[in-house]
Amino acid sequence: MNRRRASAALHVAAMTLAVACGVEAQVPATGAAATGAAASGSDVMVKPYTVECGRDPEGERTQCLVDGGTYVGWRTFHAVCHVCHAQDAVGSTFAPDLLARMRTIDKATFMTSVDEGLEGQVGVMPPWRENPNVNKYYEQLWSYLLARADGVLLPGRPRRLPNPQ
Ligand code: HEC
């Protein structure tokens, strides 16, 4: 479903013609994408995040620790993107559940959609390329959302892992 674009080029053309609504593009099915592994081309096996979840020793809840980049992604998401995509990226009536959507797109598509914005069947996302609170953090957002979509990072506020010695 919802895999509308095979390439950034098609996306640009669709945006230019303002006919992005309902454009269906066939993305070659890959086993990696189907299983939810990072469908990011050559680095399929390499995850951009480090996440360790366990019981918070002081509380009842499970606490996740994440690398610095993933933490910045979480922070950026909950400063800007949660307004539409909701806390923890689970989606709302007017913006998609990114946990599901992330499994249908590759990294290049992610970067293009976030940078240029996206108009589709669910609604319209503005472009973020002019927003300095977002455009420096695409990699971090990718890490955070992939960790969520992979089911590795649980909902809620993560803490930073200690810096490597
Ligand atoms: C104004 C509401 C809004 C905000 C804020 C917003 N989005 Fe979106 N986003 C959308 C909508 C609507 C869609 C789905 C468009 C469609 O497919 O119909 C979407 C789609 C996406 C997709 C799927 C892209 C694809 O190619 O399928 C990603 C990834 C995404 N958003 C990431 C983000 C990130 C990261 C932020 C914060 C920088 C963000 N969004 C902020 C509304 C928003």
- Name the residue with the closest Cα to ligand 1, atom 24: 113
* Separation CA 97–CA 6 (nearest Å): 20
User: Which of 40, 125, 134, 142 to probe ligand 1 with, by most ligand atoms within 8 A of CB?
Assistant: 125
Q: For residue 29, report the distance from its CA to the centre of ligand 1, in Å.
A: 23
- Predicted pLDDT at 55: 87
User: Which are the contacts of 160, defined by CB distance < 8 A and separation ≥ 6?
Assistant: 65, 66, 67, 68, 71
Count CB-CB contacts under 10 A for residue 101: 21
- Predicted pLDDT at 46: 86
- Predicted pLDDT at 45: 62
User: Which of 76, 81, 134 to probe ligand 1 with, by most ligand atoms within 8 A of CB?
Assistant: 81
* DSSP secondary structure, 119-155, as one string: E-SS-EE---TT-TTTTT-HHHHHHHHHHHHTT-SPS
Which residue's entry shows tokens 């539409």?
84
Residue count (the chain) = 165
- Predicted pLDDT at 52: 96
Q: Which helix (H) or strand (E) holds 32?
A: helix 31-34
- Predicted pLDDT at 44: 57
Positive or negative torsion for Cα 142, 80, 86, 158: positive
Q: pTM (2 decimals)?
A: 0.78
- Predicted pLDDT at 56: 81
Q: Which residues line ligand 1 (CB under 6 A)?
A: 80-81, 83-85, 94-96, 98, 101, 105, 109-110, 113-114, 118, 120-126, 128, 134, 141
- Predicted pLDDT at 58: 79
Q: For residue 95, report the distance from its CA to the centre of ligand 1, in Å.
A: 6
Region label for 22, one of left (φ > 0), alpha (ψ between -120 and 50) or beta (otherwise): left
The pair phi, psi for residue 150, each rounded to 5°, is -75, -10
- Predicted pLDDT at 137: 98
pLDDT (tens digit, 0 to 9) for every residue of the chain, 165 residues total?
444 444 434 333 333 333 333 333 333 333 333 333 444 445 456 899 999 999 887 777 889 999 999 999 999 999 999 999 999 999 999 999 999 999 999 999 999 999 999 999 999 999 999 999 999 999 999 999 999 999 999 999 999 999 876
Domain at 8-160, CATH from 1.10.760.10, 3.90.650.10, 3.40.50.720, 1.20.1250.20: 1.10.760.10
- Is residue 67 a contact partner of residue 142, using CB atoms and an 8 Å limit? no
Query: Counting atoms of ligand 1 from 1, which one is nearest the CA of 124?
Result: 12
- Pairing of the two strands 62-66 and 159-160: parallel
